[in-house]
Structure 1
Amino acid sequence: MTFWTYMLHCADRSFYVGHTDSLETRILQHDHGTLPGYTQTRLPVKLVWSQAFGTRMEALEAERQIKGWSRAKKLALIRNDWTLISALARSNMEK
């Protein structure tokens, strides 16, 4: 079974990060506002990034890590800019 970590861009320009075992179904739930919580009042949402994982734990760990990232780092992830992600991580370590 495949598990997914995903990022949505919300109408208020914020990002939402989650994980699921059915990406297509989960995105539809977010789109229709049927999931209570963060995205329900920030519609519409757009899927901007996702990655598959082999276990739910891996997907959950990625979700937790990305949720702690700055907006700049999330934008770099969306662009798949690993050089910038590394630079941002180093600059955060020096503070």
Structure 2
Amino acid sequence: MSSDSVDHYVYVIECVDGSLYTGYTTDVQRRVREHDAGEGAKYTRGRTPVELVYSESFDSKSAAMSREYEIKQLSRAEKERLVFEA
């Protein structure tokens, strides 16, 4: 399978402490399972369980990574609007 046929995703998970974490992956469900198992990002370890609250798909990794950066620059209130009003 060529990498061109892989979908790229930006996702937001809500941690048990109510914080929001934004990341990039090619498989959202697998990545959420990894976070829940404590194998995800350092930030989410100790903040499990996590819940997927938002995702967007892209045709290219670069587009997804750009969007991930944009979301990470948002304020908490802006992220909540994006996530909970989507």
Class of the TM-score when normalised by the shorter of the 2 chains: 0.7 to 0.9
Length, aligned pairs only: 80
Q: Which runs of 5+ in 2 are unaligned?
A: 1-5
CA distance in 2, matches of 1:35, 1:28: 8
1:43-62 alignment to 2 at 5 Å?
43-62=48-67
CA drift of 1:35 comes to 2.2
Bigger radius of gyration among the two: 1
User: What root-mean-square deviation, in Å, do the aligned CA atoms of Structure 1 and Structure 2 show?
Assistant: 0.9
Matched residue type, 1:57 = S
Normalized against structure 1, the TM-score is what?
0.80
Partner residue, 1:33? 38
2:28 corresponds to which letter in structure 1?
A: L
Corresponding letter in the other structure for 1:43: T
The runs of at least 4 aligned residues of structure 1 exceeding 2 Å deviation read none
28-37 vs 41-50, which deviates more? 28-37
Partner of 1:75: 80
Runs of 5+ consecutive residues of structure 1 not aligned to the other structure: 81-95
Q: Deviations over 1:13-72 (max 9, x none)?
A: 111000001111111101111125000111111100000000111111111110110111
Distance 1:61 1:74 in 2: 16
Taking structure 2 as the reference length, the TM-score comes to 0.88
Identical amino acids, percent of aligned pairs: 36
